[in-house]
Amino acid sequence: MKHSMKGVPVSSVQLTDGFWKTRTHMVATEAIPYQWRALNDSVPGVPKSHAVENFRIAAGEADGDVHGMVFQDSDIGKWIEAASYALLAHRDPAIEEQIDALVRVIGKAQQSDGYINTFFTLVKPEERWSELVQGHELYSAGHLIEAAVAYHEVTGKREFLEIMVRFADHIDEVFGPEEGKLHLFDGHPEVELALYRLAEATGTERYARLADYFLDVRGSIPDFSRGRPAKEGMIDDSRWFYNDYYNAQCATRDLRDAEGHAVRAVYLYSGLADQYGRTGDDEILTALRALWKSVVERRMYVTAGLGSQARGERFTVDYDLPGDTAYAETCASVGFVFWAWRMTLIDPNREYADIAERALYNGALGGIALDGHSYHYVNALEVRPEVAEYRHDHDHVEPERVGWFECACCPTNVARLVASIGAYLVSHDEETVWIHQYVSARTSVPLRDGAVDLAVQSGFPWDGRVTLTMHSTVPERFSVYVRIPEWADSYAITVDGSAASVAAGPNGYAAITADWSGKHAIGLSFDMAPRLVRANDKVAETAGRVAIQRGPLIYCVEEVDNGPDLHQLIVDPRGSIRVERDDSLVEGGTILVVPGHREIDGDEAMTLYRDYRAPRRLDPCQIRAVPFFMRGNRGRGEHRVWVRVGP
């Protein structure tokens, strides 16, 4: 079963107003300039990046030593990609000039054979392509290639694209199934995604075949994890870093359970989805569906965070989802969106777009502060700052948002996702239009016999009302598919102001078929009543607790609203949750006021242990909850997603 669905190019989508317009404008005007300063070591009090300076040294424009992680070049690639997409929201000549100047430096750093990597060029030139386990050469190459494709798409400029084409040609000369080439793959998947994008951008099938090769050869080296790790790989010879850490324990078509490093995993699964989209190989689809179920049904946090163990930043076993030691890396939720979108295109079903929505609004967006100047690498669902600062098993948990990281993969990654949000809204085949995410935007959707100019006016995530205005030149009837979110207990659909008789199909979309020639409007209204969510009983850490959800947003309680010792709060499930507008952090934002109690110990002596029957009291209180992505924007303090529930 191969579906021929296509997305609408991000460059042809214009955000018009509302939540995501505000977020993309923040990225364009605040996050991108701030990140540029961080990459140039101009932000005081944060870890030095040196990423731009590394390229200047490699280009012969500066003296000094390479500094940073072995994959530091990838931060440059992701920043250029994010900045490129940000130009769609805010065409800033200064940012464009910075990109152009940086591209020229990258071109000067390129070796005569096309190779680009500042670490191996300057530190280990004799060991190029010899440390694939942790060297990240292909990973870094992939992010630079993706950046070049994005910059070309947005600006039409070809210089960076041509530099990366020379690099891709070099990679194709070094790797492949032919005799005399290296029969290897990178420890961190990413180049596969880039090569598929480059093949589409240039019309060069050879790059897609190379991506296929990297996916097909994975799992063919039994002792892959025992290779010599590169400088600063931070990998030891323990059970956490065997082949499954790299998703290299078997052939990709035989993968069934989500294993290993969560970011590596979702990047690999995204590449597999790309491969299926071009080959239609049913073995790949079987693997993808099994992996999806493994993640979504047994190994995903309610925020769409992935990775429940800091050691190896990895998946563990089914239903092991501790909140306070969660890793839930921002990059993993970003990659989850990439994978979910690709699954939507090859197998249109609501569950994929629902998860993309969950990851967008919660796990990914929670990684960047509202002002774009500080970040979470780890998105734990429960944080007590004094514990996080002291306990070794909480060493990875940031007690508050920080300005930059030694390993700064997440800031630029979440920026490129937010800036490119328009790419994930609409898809089509020759005869149908599909609406997956409800974001206020305008675009044109090509069909076989005409085009549909589409304008979306959306109140998401605060309000469930959406209007789709269409002007079609298609002469015959066709279908528009609209997603009915899983969280909406009820919904209504109108066409040109009159109630439409439609029902959600088995895939969770409602099909509205009509003669759409001329101008028409579809009205959607989704119930956004707050709900209390409980986890599967096998998740030990959430027993007796609930999470609070409204629409696509997961909420959490913070110390700034509710005082310390949030574990004392108890939600009353019989009470009515009140929705209040609060513009103090985000315009149009909503907080939830949840009836409940605070458990107070009646033992004035405050002994450490006491008889169960000792006095205690339950003081009625109003528990205030804010969206998870907004946490940590009002200073240091506790927060938690899962709250006790009871009478």
Alpha carbon 628 to chain centroid distance?
Answer: 15
Please give the pLDDT value at position 461: 98
Q: What are phi and psi of 151, to 5 degrees?
A: -65, -35
Residue 14 region by backbone torsions, left for phi larger than 0, else alpha for psi between -120 and 50, else beta: beta
What lies within 8 Å, CB to CB, of 137 at 6+ separation is 117, 120, 128, 129, 131, 186
Q: Token pair 């800031």 is at which residue?
A: 411
Of 323-327, 522-526, 569-573, 599-603, the least confident: 599-603
What is residue 238's predicted lDDT score, i.e. its pLDDT?
81
- Strand 569-571 and strand 643-645: pairing? parallel
Contact present, 544 and 501 (Cβ < 8 Å): no
Other CB atoms within 10 Å distance of the CB of residue 627: 26
pLDDT at residue 505, rounded to an integer: 85
Residue with tokens 């994008």: 197
Residues in the chain: 647
Looking at the predicted structure, is the pLDDT value of residue 1 above 60? no
Is 331 noted as a catalytic residue in this protein? no
Among residues 409, 541, 556, 558, the one annotated as catalytic is 409
Rounded-to-integer distance, Cα 509 and Cα 515, Å: 19
Whether the pLDDT of residue 2 is over 70: the answer is no
Average pLDDT for residues 455-473, to the nearest whole number?
97
Query: What is the band of 232 on the pLDDT scale with cuts at 50, 70, 90?
Result: very low
As a whole number, mean pLDDT of residues 12-41 equals: 97
Cβ contact 53:37 at 8 Å: no
State how far the alpha carbon of 94 is from the alpha carbons of 91, 100, 470, in Å.
9, 10, 36
Q: Is 45 left (phi over 0), alpha (psi -120 to 50) or beta?
A: left
Catalytic, out of 313, 382, 398, 541:
313
The whole-angstrom separation of Cα 372 and Cα 28 is: 9
Cα distances (angstroms) measured from residue 443 to each of 117, 201, 248, 437 = 38, 20, 40, 13
Q: What is the mean pLDDT of the chain?
A: 95
Which residues on neighbouring strands pair with residue 627, listed in sequence order? Answer: 555
pLDDT value of residue 229 = 45
* Annotation marks residue 604 as catalytic: no
Q: Worst-scoring range by mean pLDDT, 553-567, 568-582, 591-605?
A: 591-605
- Residue 228 pLDDT: 47
Contact between 225 and 243 (Cβ < 8 Å): yes
Q: What's the confidence (pLDDT) of residue 209? A: 98
pLDDT tens digits along 430-453? 999 999 999 999 999 999 999 999
Mean pLDDT, rounded, for 372-376: 98
pLDDT band for position 603 (cuts 50, 70, 90): confident
Per the CB < 8 A criterion, the answer to whether 396 and 324 are in contact is no
From the CB of residue 176, how many other CB atoms can be counted at a distance below 10 Å? Answer: 18
Give the separation between CA 40 and CA 294, rounded to whole angstroms. Answer: 41
pLDDT band at 151 (very low <50, low <70, confident <90, very high): very high
Query: In which band, very low, low, confident or very high, does the pLDDT at 310 lie, cut at 50, 70 and 90?
Result: very high
Task: Give mean pLDDT, residues 227-250.
Answer: 74
Contacts of 123 (CB under 8 A, 6+ apart): 66, 231
Question: Residue 60 has which token pair?
Answer: 């012969």
Residues 520-537: tens digit of each pLDDT: 999 999 999 999 999 999
Is the pLDDT score of 58 beyond 70?
A: yes
Cα atoms found within 13 Å of the Cα of residue 390, Cβ hemisphere only: 4
Radius of gyration for the alpha carbons in the chain, expressed in angstroms and rounded: 25
> What local confidence, expressed as pLDDT, does residue 285 receive?
97
Domains, in order of start, for the chain: 16-230+242-424 (1.50.10.10), 426-526 (2.60.40), 532-645 (no CATH)
Rounded to the nearest 5 percent, the helix, strand and coil shares of the chain are 40, 20, 40
Share of the chain above pLDDT 70, in %: 98
What pLDDT was estimated at residue 234? 53
Going by their DSSP bridges, the two strands 478-483 and 432-435 should be labelled as parallel
Statement: residue 233 has pLDDT above 60: no
| Exposure letters 594-611 (e unless 16+ CB within 10 A, then b) | bbbbbbeeeeeeeeeeee
